[in-house]
Structure 1
């Protein structure tokens, strides 16, 4: 099985698109909203300070969910729905019609791809069929230090997700699902806008691509309990390295 080419190129490209300041256009002015009892005061701060406070708030939330879709310049389509608890995560990543369930608990990573994933990435149709039979509905344990899936699990990195490529300016204020936000517009060529909550904790609420057709991701469920983000029972795990040799 050619694990060295497990859609890594497509995943890397899609991840790069996600991790580029994702957004729509802003007005560049950033008019502060009227101050109320729950206003967190970030509207009046400099753009970089707003982003810093938002990044800190997200890390302090301990748990949250990121969900969305992104299209890359080469036509790769990626979707993600991940739940994060500290450094652990669980959820689903899809790339061009294939999907991979992901778990990372205590530093150990697990994957449970669908049959189409193996059909595209095994050495032959017979090898793919064999892997699917051997795995069933079990999880594959990813060896420590394996680089083939680094991009896949790396899409949830807060520091990368919220890092702009260019200088930031304040954009439009917007109500997103009942949350008042202010946009921070990335001035790079790819651009993007990150919308930060201006009431309550200054959580990031949405990353919006510069071109609306390229997609967006949202942040939600801050501080939620995700009982499914836990290591699978040993009986439901196969070793990826051993699987490759079968």
Structure 2
């Protein structure tokens, strides 16, 4: 057995003793893992805020799938989202002004599923459309205004690119916890430009976003977890034509 040099043994004993004193005396000593918030992490917490943002955006762009939930405020209207997204499609629910509808995109084909009340509000009451469309997956024509309005909620790259942008001067804003995962927070203009919690465990994925100007708060989960998107059965599908009732 190789002998351990006495000098190394003394140094190890000294570090152990100092760490013990740090715990009992509430001192902070570099080298004592229990006092280092980045100990055992992926290391991004030690980086400048702009590099953390670059790494988390790259991680998000490289992920094959994600689930996002929370609120988005756009054009003065609040949308409650619960969406699962991947490169070739997405599925989930959207709630706005008390009405909830489901979105499904397979490739470029977008479907919208809602109840009769939704379609009545959308202007389909006069021609009996509400009853025909109730509970059905309605094909949304690509030339219809609803396609442009709602397909963005199902487009992973487009949605993340727009959401994961903070506005203003970036700075780190402390270590936090998001649903049991340690995070480092970066913020812009002391929070007024938005803030983003980035995972310190494993891949530095974004986990929680507070958008600038009160434009919503979103949580991200299930990064890289695949799920199935498939065309609905013909009996569940309605092709309304070239344009849906005006929403």
Q: TM-score, normalised by structure 2?
A: 0.73
Q: Contact 1:98–1:114 at 8 Å: present in 2 too?
A: no
Q: CA deviation at 1:205?
A: 0.4
**RCO comparison, higher one (Cα < 8 Å, 6+):** 1
Q: Deviations over 1:37-92 (max 9, x none)?
A: xx212112232221221122123221110011356795x44211000122411000
CA distance in 2, matches of 1:34, 1:242: 56
Distance between the aligned counterparts of 2:187 and 2:166, measured in 1? Answer: 9
More helix by proportion, 1 or 2? 2
CA distance in 2: counterparts of 1:78 and 1:220, whole angstroms: 19
TM-score by length of 1: 0.73
How far apart are the structure 1 equivalents of 2:191 and 2:199?
Answer: 25
CA contact (8 A) 1:63 1:223 kept: yes
Distance 1:52 1:240, change over 3 A: farther
Deviation at residue 146 of structure 1 after TM alignment: 3.4
Match of 1:202 among 201, 204, 213: 204
Cα contact 1:65–1:81 (8 A) shared by 2: yes
Moved over 4 A (4+): 70-74, 209-212, 242-245
The number of equivalent residue pairs is 206
- Aligned counterpart, 1:136: 134
Following superposition, the deviation at residue 120 of structure 1 comes to 2.1
Change (3 A) 1:243 1:208: closer
Contact 1:131–1:243 (Cα < 8 Å) also in 2: no
Unaligned runs of 5+ in 1: 1-31
Shift of 1:243: 7.2
User: Where does 1:54-65 land on structure 2 (aligned, <5 Å)?
Assistant: 54-65=56-67
1:146 & 1:242 partners in 2: Cα distance?
Answer: 7
Uncovered stretches (5+) of structure 2, i.e. residues with no partner: 1-35
Range moving further from structure 2, 80-89 or 44-53: 44-53
1:152 to 150, 153, 161: 150
Distance in 2 of aligned mates of 1:147 and 1:126: 20
Give the secondary structure class of the aligned counterpart of 2:241: helix
Shift of 1:149: 3.2
Structure 1 equivalent of residue 87 of structure 2: 86
Give the Cα separation in 2 of the matches to 1:68 and 1:244: 27
Query: Is 1:231 equivalent to 2:235 in the alignment?
Result: no
Decide which moves more: 49-58 or 141-150: 141-150
Larger radius of gyration: 2
RMSD (CA atoms): 2.7
1:42 to 34, 41, 44: 44
1:65-104 equivalences in 2 (<5 Å): 65-70=67-72, 76-104=77-105
Cα shift at 1:160: 0.5
